[in-house]
Chains A and B, each alone.
Chain A
């Protein structure tokens, strides 16, 4: 059990650029979640995958955001045409077993928009 891995840890980009983050969940975890956290706030849910199927999306996930989990293993989160308000920590979590089993988080990707 190597834990949830996220890459990169930090990303600095100019407004208007596209960025992509990667999440490698704990092996054999079939559930994968993305959250966003801004300074001083708790994490907010963005989207959820059960294997490769995206089962739930938050209204926070605007049209500029897209997430994939093509083979039910790693996942990517892409933000197109980044805006200042996208600056945040993007967290990935994974879970396995029954629906009451806990989610385990990675250490996130911190995105800064110049």
Chain B
């Protein structure tokens, strides 16, 4: 699976949009981009995933560049509860499922 690069940490003001970047310049055509987050002492929480089109759900939006070499996770109105480690993961499609390979992630601190 392709390797991803994320900034080690970011700060965001409460109520503002949090934009978390991820670089995956070696992504292959059958690889999806997944975002998870992990709040202290909890398991990772699935946020969103996409292949090439932008995606939006109740938690966040995922913007994937046209060349698919990078993406941005957007939390539209960050709250203190969004403080967590955010993982960007690229995973190839396999009919019977595939493991996730986690990097170090980005520590997002939302401040009041």
B44 within 8 A of A: yes
How long is the Cα–Cα vector from A43 to B44 in the complex, in angstroms? 9
A-B interface pairs (CB < 8 A), number = 60
Chain B positions 80 through 98: 1 when the CB is less than 8 Å from some CB of chain A, otherwise 0: 0000010100000111111
In the assembled complex, the Cα of A42 lies from the Cα of B100 at a distance in Å of 10
Main SS at interface, chain B: loop
* Residue among A35, A55, A91, A103 with the highest chain B CB neighbour number at 10 A: A103
Distance A20 CA – B102 CA, assembled complex (angstroms) = 25
Cβ of A100 within 8 Å of any chain B Cβ, yes or no, is: yes
Q: Is B100 touching A103 in the complex (CB atoms < 8 A)? A: yes
Residues of A within 8 A of B (CB): 4, 31, 33, 35, 41-45, 48, 50, 55-56, 91, 93, 95, 98-100, 102-108
The chain B residues found within 8 Å of chain A, CB to CB, are 32, 34, 36, 41-46, 49, 51, 85, 87, 93-105
